[in-house]
Amino acid sequence: MNEIEEQWLTGFWEGDGSTGAYYDSSVDNLVPNVIFIQKERGVLEGIRDLIGYGYIRTPNLQIRGWKRCARLLALFCRHTVSEHSVSRINRVFEKFDLDVKASRHKPSVPWTIGFFDAEGHIDWDNSGQLQSNFAQKDLAVLEDVQVLVGGNIRSDKSTYKGEPYYYFKLYLEGNVLRNFIPLILEYSHCESRRRKLLAQIYALASDGNGVWNNWAKELMSGR
C-alpha cells in the first residue's frame, strides 16, 4: 500500500470506522479490533483487498488480532485528522500499555476523498445542477477540509433516540464542486460512486449549454 492509499484509507476509516478492544475467551485476554462500516459490500471488499485481510459481514469489515490491528493503527497514526480518532486510537494503545501516541494532522487530498467516500454525498439540486456536502459532528475537521477544498459550513439539527443533537455540513457548489469532482475521480476507491458520478457528468455534457454543460464536455474530452 502506498502513501496515497494509506491517506485515503485513513480518511475513510475516520468517516465510517471504529476501533476498540474486546475480551476473547479463547485466549483469555483483551484483543484489539478495527472496523470499517459501509452498506455496499463492494466497497468493503475493495478495502479488504487493499489491506490484504479482514472478515466481511455487511455492513462491517472487521480486522481482529494484535499484529493486524497494530499495523493498521500505526498506519492511521501517520494521517489522522480528527481529535476523536486520535482519542480512540490512543485508548487502544493505553489498554495494551504501549508507549505510543497518535496525533492530529492536516487533511491531504487523498484523505479528504476517503473521508468524502464515507461521509459525503453528491446529487442533483432543485435546479438540475450538482451539489455536494459532508456531514460531521466535529466542526474542526470540516474547517480543515474547507481550507483545503473550499465550500461553506452550515450547522444543522437532528434527533437520535428522541434526543436532539447538532452537527455540521460542508457544502460544495458551483466552481468549488467543479474543482472537487476531478479529485474524486482520481482518488476514490469506491467504484459505485465513480460510476454514478461519471453518469451524472455525461448527463450534464449532453444537456444544452451553460457553465456545467461546458465543464462536463471539457472534462469528458480528457478521459
By mean pLDDT, which of 4-18, 90-104, 140-154, 176-190 is the weakest?
90-104
| Residue 165: per-residue pLDDT | 81
The pLDDT tens digits for 96-147 are 877 778 899 999 999 999 999 998 989 988 888 899 998 888 899 999 999 9
**Cα four-point dihedral sign 107, 191, 58, 30:** negative
Listed in order, the ranges of the chain carrying CATH 3.10.28.10 are 3-95, 109-221
Query: Which pLDDT score is estimated for 152?
Result: 95
Q: pLDDT category, 223, cuts 50, 70, 90?
A: low
Mean pLDDT, rounded, for 73-99: 90
pLDDT at 27: 64
- CA 96, 98, 103, 108 torsion-angle sign: negative
Q: Looking at the domain 109-221, which fold is it? A: Endonuclease I-creI (3.10.28)
Residue of 217 and 160 predicted with greater confidence? 217
Mean pLDDT of 179-194: 93
Average pLDDT, the chain: 90
Segment 141-154 mean pLDDT: 95
Q: pTM to 2 decimals?
A: 0.91
* 65 pLDDT tier (thresholds 50, 70, 90): confident
With 90 as the cut, is the pLDDT of residue 50 above it?
yes
Three-point CA angle 215, 220, 118, nearest 5°: 85
pLDDT surpasses 90 at 10? yes
Looking at residue 158, its pLDDT comes to 79
What pLDDT, on the 0 to 100 scale, is given for residue 127? 82
| Domain 3-95 bears CATH identifier 3.10.300.10 | no
Over the stretch 157-183, which tens digit does the pLDDT of each residue have?
877 777 888 889 999 999 999 999 999
Q: Could you identify the residue written with the cell 443533537?
A: 165
The percent of residues in the chain predicted with pLDDT above 70, rounded, is: 97
